Amino acid sequence: MKRFYLTAAIAAATLALPALPALAQTSEITIGITTTTTGPGAALGIPERNALEFVPKEIGGVPLKVIVLDDGGDPTTATTNARRFVTESKADIIMGSALTPPTIAVSNVANEAGIPHFGLAPFPITPERMKWSVAMPQPIPIVGKVLYDHMKSKGVKTLGYIGYSDSYGDLWFNDLKAQAVPMGMTIVDEERFARPDTSVTGQVLKLVAANPDAILVGASGTAAALPQTELRERGYQGLIYQTHGAASMDFIRIAGKAAEGVLMASGPVMDPEDQPDEAATKKPGLALNSAYEGKYGPNSRSQFAGHSYDAFEILKRVIPTALKTAKPGTPEFREAIRQALLSEKELAASQGVYNFTEKDRYGLDERSRILLTVKNGKYTLVK
């Protein structure tokens, strides 16, 4: 299990600043993050970890102690990491993970312990997870709608589906049934594959035989390129749609020519340059991409980097409110964070504008998604 520490060094800076309240001088806010930096989900977790280099080291005059552990995409390991944050680190806030199954596991631990939890992957927020968890990625129904609207505009009548054989794949297939079918589309074939699979030939042959007008791929990270490539190699000529779980430059790198013409939902962080100046997501999106691509090279921007970056954008608004009533390291502070997530509104970040409520733990609207395609090896906005 890998450890990655980010701690604020404020001694020198303190000499040049006015004296801070005793709370800020003697306290720190501990944030435990479990993400997926090894294994099949590393293409999601590594950008989430990298983005932590560009987040604040202190908020409200209080230093942040950020502890990052790798869970390899395994729910059991994610559970262990989360429990360590609770018992050993006495975390004020927990984040993670990069994939849906381990995010569910982390949410369960956080809600048992009464610690605010920021999910970094889409996950079902059931009543038992609703009090302490919020999700940073766009909710699937909002992202799905932009895909289904495009399908309808192109006259799609029949649909095929291929997705993960886990909770992420289930979330997308259930949404496809809930939204696309009432719009007049018929699902003619459903196929599944496991995240570690290296071949989907059998599933793709069935889809090609069914010959739907369009196919939705319910996968994430680099694995989303596997059915994309296989479908084109097997001669499928219809429209292929990908979810926001695939929105990265790695997808284009791995799928190669097969990526051309794909239709992919994404958060606005993938293209802040084309947003109007008044868009609340433009400034944070440009800031993240400038820093990220400045270090990791041109076109290295990532949907997933936005998830962890945006969690800290929200904390910049929430923590100062919580500090007015409670001290870090206490149950009262954790409750103050939870309450501030509900009281603070229009929380602008790179991936959307968040307005959390007791019932809506995603807190996002249509400002949180765009539609992309790939032309000449680059993402371009579908207008």
pLDDT, one tens digit per residue, over 85-114 is 999 999 999 999 999 999 999 999 999 999
Structure confidence at residue 8 (pLDDT): 41
Question: Is residue 353 within 8 Å of 138, Cβ to Cβ?
Answer: no
- CATH 3.40.50.2300 residue ranges of the chain are 3-138+286-366, 140-266
pLDDT band at 3 (very low <50, low <70, confident <90, very high): very low
Which CATH number does 3-138+286-366 carry? 3.40.50.2300
Grade residue 221 by pLDDT with cuts at 50, 70 and 90. Answer: confident
| Pairing outcome for strands 93-96 and 352-354 | unpaired
Q: Is the pLDDT of residue 35 over 70?
A: yes
In the chain, the percentage of residues whose pLDDT exceeds 70 is: 93
pLDDT tier, 10 (very low <50, low <70, confident <90, very high otherwise): very low
CATH topology of domain 140-266: Rossmann fold (3.40.50)
The pLDDT of residue 202 is above 50: yes
Contact 264, 378 (CB under 8 A): no
Average the pLDDT over each of 17-31, 171-185, 282-296, 338-352 and give the range with the smallest value.
17-31
Does the pLDDT at position 18 exceed 80?
no
Average per-residue pLDDT in the chain? Answer: 93
